[in-house]
Amino acid sequence: MTHEERYNLALEISGRLSREKKDNLICFCLYGSTSRGTDTHWSDLEMLMITREEVPKKTSLDGLVSITIKSITENRLCRLL
């Protein structure tokens, strides 16, 4: 998968989760090599959701691309910061 394809996949996933999580979702972030533009053909896709209420971590595959979506609540993030 190319960088552009991986980035577009991240946009597709973020749009789908935005519709699914609705008011619980505050922010959706892409991080790791794809966000830096240093991803390779075999890179994974790493994303983070900031939510109002806890959401479990999600892992999946899209073809050969491993996708990890972690989440943290707004309150927990504020305590950490």
* pLDDT score recorded for residue 61: 94
Q: pLDDT tens per residue, the chain (81 residues)?
A: 899 999 999 999 999 999 999 999 999 999 999 999 999 998 999 999 999 999 999 999 999 899 999 999 999 999 999
Which pTM was predicted?
0.87
pLDDT at residue 46, rounded to an integer: 97
Among left, alpha and beta (phi > 0; psi -120 to 50; other), residue 42 is alpha
Sheet holding 45-51, edge to edge: 25-31, 45-51, 65-73, 58-62
